[in-house]
Amino acid sequence: MRRSILASLLLPVMCISTLSAQNSYNLARFGNETIEFIKQPTKWEGNDWLRFGLVGAGTLLAMQVDQPIRDAVMKDRSAYNSAPIKFGKFWGETYSTAIFAGAFGLHGLLTDNNSTKKVAFEIVQAALYSGGITTILKAAIGRARPYTDKGAGSYQPFTILDDGLHSLPSGHATLAFALSTVLSRNADSKTLKVLAFVPAALTAFSRIYQDYHWASDCLLGAVIGYVVATWVVDLHDSKETPVHLTGIYPLTIRINLN
């Protein structure tokens, strides 16, 4: 199983410990919200199941063009080691998520800034939850990666150790879109809200271009990262009132009402 996905499960140990003593974003809250996240499917209603079905149908539809997309991309490999491709891969790495979470967490700890503590907390949560879902799906589905040349329709379900059979969903795309979504939702500028997703898009493209994933793998990973991160931010925003202050642009200061 991919080390980067497993490593995402260590993010709470690395980052939340810096936030636990002085504010509401602590280990107790993390535990309670993790339980709440796990219980979410039991609370789904008709529209929720419809969206779930649409994601599955969209992934299956995208699979129909996986091979043509790969064939088109493989015709030109000249940009394989280009800066945009390398940056896209970097954005989806676990250590990038840890760097951002650690930086926001350290800033919040040193300045007692609850807004940056919140961002760090949400990055950790989004990475853990979405990374966990992706890890389980990778092993359960067992789809062959493009570079194995087994074809887009090759599956060996419940494969644990063979990374060549962990194509669906893309772990890099999952973490990239989880990170970008948290940053976008906490940005105060509309321009920055949009620009936050550019690195994530590069991540998805880089995984296809470097032949590690099919297009549908990246699509599903992106959806998982985006949906989970959106849930995490919405959970906190529903309990807080945003107050725009200067000093930490482009983030929005939030005052906890609890």
* Confidence band of 238 (pLDDT split at 50, 70, 90): confident
pLDDT score recorded for residue 256: 38
pTM of the model: 0.87
* pLDDT tens by residue, 191-202: 999 999 999 999
Name which of 101, 124, 89 is nearest 228 in CA terms. Answer: 124
* Mean pLDDT of all residues belonging to the chain: 87
Give me the DSSP letters along 188-221: SSHHHHHHTTHHHHHHHHHHHHTTSS-HHHHHHH
Share of the chain above pLDDT 70, in %: 83
Distance in angstroms (rounded) separating the CA atoms of residues 249 and 138: 38
Domains present along the chain, CATH in parentheses: 3-37+45-256 (1.20.144)
CA distances (Å), origin 39, targets 12, 28, 36, 203: 20, 17, 5, 30
Mean pLDDT, residues 165-182: 98
Share of the chain above pLDDT 90, in %: 76
Q: DSSP readout, 11-41?
A: HHHHHGGGTTTTSSSSHHHHHHHHHHHHHGG
Confidence bin at 26 (pLDDT 50/70/90) = confident
pLDDT of residue 148 exceeding 80, the answer is: yes
In this prediction, residue 240 has a pLDDT band, given cuts at 50, 70 and 90, of low
pLDDT band for position 163 (50/70/90)? very high
Q: What is the pLDDT of residues 95-130, one digit of tens each?
A: 999 999 999 999 988 998 889 999 999 999 999 999
What pLDDT band is residue 250 in, cutting at 50, 70 and 90? very low
Instruction: Grade residue 249 by pLDDT with cuts at 50, 70 and 90.
Output: very low
Q: 């931010």: which residue's tokens?
A: 233
- What average pLDDT score do residues 14-24 get? 55
What Rg value do the Cα atoms of the chain yield, rounded?
19
CA neighbor of 175 nearest in space, from 250, 115, 98, 103: 98
Mean pLDDT of 215-232: 98
Tell me the mean pLDDT in the region 152-173.
96
Confidence of residue 78 (pLDDT cuts 50, 70, 90): very high
What interhelical angle do 83-91 and 171-186 show, nearest 10? Answer: 80
